[in-house]
Amino acid sequence: MEILRTAANPWGENILLGVAWWLIWAALLAGVAFVVVHAVYVGATGGKKGMTPGPAGAAPVPDKVERHSRSSRTYHWLMAASMLTLLVTAFFPLVGIQFAWVTIHWIAGVALTLLVLWHIYDSFFRQDWRAVWIGGRELGEMKTAVGRFFSRDKVPHPRMAKYHNDQRMFHHAASITGIGVIITGLLMMFRIDTWFWASNPYFLSDSTWGLVFVLHGLCGVGLITLVIAHIYFAIRPEKRWMTRSMIKGWITREEYLTYYDPDKWLLEGEAKPVAAPSGSGGTDAQGDPEAVAPA
């Protein structure tokens, strides 16, 4: 099967038209397969492994620990709405569900662009962007986790930073595909009439347009798989406390002390580690390695 669609232009040149439509179904199947395999694995293994005990200390922890600011939560849900709108308007017509999708699609694309620009500003100037960055320490932790998975080592998992490495990897993958689809989508807007300008299909050459179409399509089908995985982990019972934090903004004191390493996620005003709750060994409720949960 061909991965790319091509056609001859009026001058007899073979140009790219975009990705093959079967990739839509491949991305959908990949997402569903991941969900099924993970669910079976967790069910077969029990999905629970101990976590390392929390460090000793006496710093106070409030009953409710803020995990997501109001601006982060607002961005997340508006971004989710625009992303789902883009996926529906992009792919439903291709599978036979016809409606007037073009205007809805580009408006949702503009909205996503503005939201991402706000998120970049918010992350760099109002929050700690390093909380989701993957550095040397995170790469070392990933290597150890992979080795532990294949060796079936029963050593307890280390406690998390504010964002687990799996969440960081998901964030990076979503950022790359999201920025890719935004840049190519903005370029493609020059081919249609919008509120901002009239259509100009000669803005780029045929060969360059072909590359834009291919990159846009690849990023789009990649987002199908990522969205399926993200929604799956958001609704898993053992991860709903994280989903709740994206709605209400906070986790409980018990959840903080059970799952997080106070040395990796230092609360505001905290000067030293806190003690784990008595009798709370904590569990990695999803298995090894821990899976992506809502960020």
- Residues in the chain, how many? 295
Could you say which DSSP state residue 275 is in?
Answer: P
Instruction: Please state the rounded mean pLDDT for residues 152-157.
Output: 66
Mean pLDDT of all residues belonging to the chain: 85
The CATH number, out of the four listed (3.30.479.30, 1.20.140.10, 3.40.50.300, 1.20.950.20), of the domain defined by the range 50-259: 1.20.950.20
pLDDT digits (tens, 9 = 90+) for 216-273: 999 999 999 999 999 999 999 989 999 999 999 999 999 998 889 888 888 875 444 4
For residue 88 the two structure tokens come to 């529906």
Any alpha helices (H) in the chain, and if so which ranges?
22-45, 70-91, 102-125, 136-151, 165-188, 206-235, 240-248, 253-259
Where do the domains of the chain lie? Answer: 50-259
Specify the pLDDT at position 136: 86
pLDDT band at 50 (very low <50, low <70, confident <90, very high): low
For residue 63 the two structure tokens come to 């009953």
User: Identity (one letter) of the amino acid at 293?
Assistant: A
Q: Is the dihedral of CA 198, 204, 207, 209 positive or negative?
A: negative
Specify the pLDDT at position 74: 96
Q: Identify whether the C-beta of residue 226 lies closer than 8 Å to the C-beta of residue 30.
A: no
Specify the pLDDT at position 96: 86
Alpha-carbon span 180 to 216, nearest angstrom: 7
Specify the pLDDT at position 283: 41
Instruction: Please state the rounded mean pLDDT for residues 7-27.
Output: 89
